[in-house]
């Protein structure tokens, strides 16, 4: 079950944290993985870890907010590993972990693109560059990492929530377009994640918001992505799966 042998995955923003864990876990299930990051050294380090474990991978530097960059990235991955079957849109700009956030009416309009370009246009760009190939081959999986903020809204991060909500809406619509061609499109909605060496006081304060009593870890996210990327999930599309410690229950 969940065997991805012979499949090729592209994971954006995979040079560290959640993205790296997703890339490593997909590789452990047999997929060849294109590891993208804005910084080449991070992407190459994760790819090297996969290769050293006996897998196939290539690290690719690209800015997902730049469509031409994305097209070149896809060409590189496909020339090295083969046609992309699985796209994981993980790259994104998160809210400030120190919660130095402000009401929307106090934001500078020039700052809005910081959240929109990667969190929404990055998803557009990567899907635009890969979906046609999936349709032509009759199989594909698209998984976009979003936030519970995009599902329910959160104060003091309105533009971020708008971008994530936009990604959710886009995936729902895309799912209906591509479903007849054997391609699925789903989201995984996250709560707060943090590094294990984070500020203990901040981590403890954030953990109180979650019924399970802790914030998330990358290892909580990757198995959900593997499921949605697998053959077993072929009848699941247009959905948003919360992986958020019980933060929401709908």
**Host H or E run for residue 50:** helix 40-52
Q: Shortest CA distance to 163 belongs to which of 102, 224, 89?
A: 89
- If DSSP codes are grouped into helix, strand and coil, which group holds residue 201? helix
Give the whole-angstrom CA distance, residue 96 versus residue 64: 20
Does 160 participate in catalysis according to the annotation? yes
Lay out the sheet containing 140-147: strands in order across. Answer: 57-61, 32-37, 8-11, 86-89, 140-147, 183-190, 240-243
Other C-beta atoms closer than 10 Å to the C-beta of 150 total 23
Backbone angles phi, psi at 131, to 5 degrees: -65, -40
Q: What angle do the packed helices 67-81 and 122-137 form, to 10 degrees?
A: 40
Residue 126, CB-side half-sphere exposure with 13 Å CA sphere: 38
Catalytic one of 160, 210, 227, 247 = 160
- If DSSP codes are grouped into helix, strand and coil, which group holds residue 4? coil
* Residue that has been written with the tokens 């994640």 in this structure: 193
Q: Shortest CA distance to 128 belongs to which of 142, 139, 149, 117?
A: 142
Residues constituting the chain = 250
Please identify every residue annotated as catalytic. Answer: 160
């Amino acid at each position: 079950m969940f065997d991805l042998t012979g499949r090729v995955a592209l994971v954006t923003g995979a040079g560290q944290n959640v993205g790296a864990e997703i890339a490593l876990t997909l590789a452990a299930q047999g997929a060849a993985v294109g590891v993208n990051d804005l910084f080449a050294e991070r992407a190459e380090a994760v790819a090297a870890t996969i290769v050293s474990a006996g897998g196939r991978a290539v690290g690719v530097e690209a800015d997902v907010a730049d469509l031409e960059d994305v097209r070149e990235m896809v060409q590189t991955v496909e020339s090295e590993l083969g046609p992309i079957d699985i796209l994981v849109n993980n790259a994104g700009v998160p809210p400030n972990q120190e919660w130095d956030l402000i009401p929307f009416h106090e934001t500078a309009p020039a700052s809005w693109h910081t959240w929109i370009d990667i969190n929404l246009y990055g998803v557009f760009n990567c899907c635009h560059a890969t979906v046609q190939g999936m349709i032509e081959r009759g199989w594909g999986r698209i998984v976009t990492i979003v936030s519970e903020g995009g599902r329910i809204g959160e104060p003091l991060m309105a533009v971020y929530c708008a971008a994530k909500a936009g990604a959710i809406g886009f995936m729902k619509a895309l799912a209906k377009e591509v479903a007849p061609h054997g391609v699925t499109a789903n989201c995984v909605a996250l709560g707060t994640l943090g590094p294990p060496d984070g500020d203990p006081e901040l981590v403890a304060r954030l953990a109180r918001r979650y019924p399970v009593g802790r914030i998330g870890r990358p290892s909580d996210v990757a198995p959900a992505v593997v499921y949605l990327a697998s053959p077993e999930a072929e009848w699941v599309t247009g959905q948003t799966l919360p992986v958020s410690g019980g933060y929401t229950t709908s």
